[in-house]
Structure 1
């Protein structure tokens, strides 16, 4: 498998707050999905296309599938890194792959992906629009 071009990935740092955890100080499992959203939103922003602009063009990207593999729990006050990678091999919509690690990269907390369909304002599934295809092509490295 070929590695993804670095311009189609982005890392975001985040400090685990008390509200992210359960009574044991361990991150509640659903928060990893929220962090996936943070990762892909910041990746879009990094590529020069804030998600708000996609919606302004009449499109939405609802999640159609999620996989989240929990490996090592994150805890209150940990500084984590959310890496989001746009998987350019997925053609039917968009797929983002994620790795959530400790700040130093020594601990992998979670890996996973989300898949998204493009839908228009009427809720109909549509093909990825030209402006998204152009954005991806313009950010690919050889």
Structure 2
């Protein structure tokens, strides 16, 4: 199974009044991790969007384990948790600078046509992505 890693330095603007990373910023970091994963497979979301295909989030799950604070380095690990040719579920682990687990999560996506939001078959419209996803999930 392929796992991509991306390090992110926690910025002051990402923290709340308690001095810890505001919960919604983990979602942004998951997107950064997902984009890095796709980039390591040799693709870019922008190329898909040029074909008028979007990949919205259809489900989201996140569990917070340990807070991150300003100045910490977060490591986001991303992989394919499930893929069926239509839907893809990415798994995430976010670690502290000390290697402690800060959060876990999953996002599910489906590719849709921009004009109608009707789902498409990834394996049919983007066979190269399909093959890469099949290889990466093993």
| Both structures adopt the same fold (TM-score exceeding 0.5) | yes
How many aligned residue pairs are there? 133
Cα deviation, residue 59, structure 1: 1.3
**Cα separation, 2, equivalents of 1:140 and 1:38:** 18
**Cα separation, 1, equivalents of 2:56 and 2:136:** 24
**Cα separation, 2, equivalents of 1:113 and 1:136:** 16
CA RMSD of the aligned region, Å? 1.6
Contact map agreement 1:13 1:103 (CA 8 A) in 2:
no
Find out whether 1:30 has 2:24 as its counterpart.
yes
Cα deviation, residue 25, structure 1: 1.1
**Cα separation, 2, equivalents of 1:37 and 1:140:** 18
**Cα separation, 2, equivalents of 1:53 and 1:90:** 20
**Cα separation, 2, equivalents of 1:119 and 1:141:** 22
TM-score (norm 2): 0.88
1:131 aligned to 110, 128, 132, which one?
A: 128
**Cα separation, 2, equivalents of 1:104 and 1:47:** 28
